[in-house]
Amino acid sequence: MSRQPREQTLKTDIGGRSVSFTYSETWVGWSILGLRVVMAYVILSAGLQKLAHEGWTNPGAWSSEFFLRNVVEETNPIRGLFLFFADFGWLVDPMVMWGQILIGLALLFGVFVRLACFAGALQMLFFWMAAWEGGLLAGLPVAHGYVIDSSFVYALVLFGLGAWGAGRILGIDAWLEDHEAVHANPWLRYLLG
């Protein structure tokens, strides 16, 4: 006897409009797991590439300062913020590189996924804002799309993974949420899932 995927009904209110549809729990579970693993790969590989370029024997080879000073367009309406960040490369470089490595590992193993998704989405939003060209009247076009680029898409995917509690699907977060420390401190659930 073959096992049929379980169907559920999602009922929500979006913008004052009632929305209801059925979905397969099985396929949603697999899609969330797939998105989590793909995002883990994308972010972890970016961090590891920076580490490889930085290297233990070649400190300073990778630097955010060059990007912040030379790649962010002069027409970017918040370029001043990125020039400010460039003055703190000693802090920004490890935050970006090790942040990507830790976010990628957290997504891969499904541990502290909500925290990792928040940190990753925030980082992606900064990358997206760095790609802005021109002001609001120019529509903030970016190199690979009009307003929307891959960093913006990654931020939305990470938001979804955090909202869904993707770490509970074949992840360590499912085990951690049953731990006594989490039961005693329910606020920890905001970091897990």
Query: What pLDDT, in 10s, does the model give residues 20-29?
Result: 878 777 888 8
Cα–Cα distance, 109 to 172 (Å, whole number): 6
Predicted local distance difference test score (pLDDT) of residue 133: 83
Residue 87: which of 63, 53, 62 has the closest Cα? 63
Q: Distance of CA 4 to CAs 7, 9, 29, Å? A: 9, 16, 14
Cα–Cα distance, 90 to 188 (Å, whole number): 31
Query: Is 99 in contact with 105 (CB distance < 8 Å)?
Result: no
Predicted local distance difference test score (pLDDT) of residue 143: 65
Greater model confidence, 193 or 3: 193
Listed ranges 51-55, 125-129, 139-143, 184-188; the one with the highest mean pLDDT: 125-129
The pair of structure tokens assigned to 155 is 């931020």
Query: Does residue 193 have a pLDDT over 80?
Result: no
* pLDDT, tens only, 111-170: 999 999 999 999 999 999 988 887 666 666 676 667 788 999 999 999 999 999 999 999
Residue 103: which of 170, 50, 41, 33 has the closest Cα? 41
Greater model confidence, 106 or 142: 106
The CA angle 26-103-140, to the nearest 5 degrees, is 95
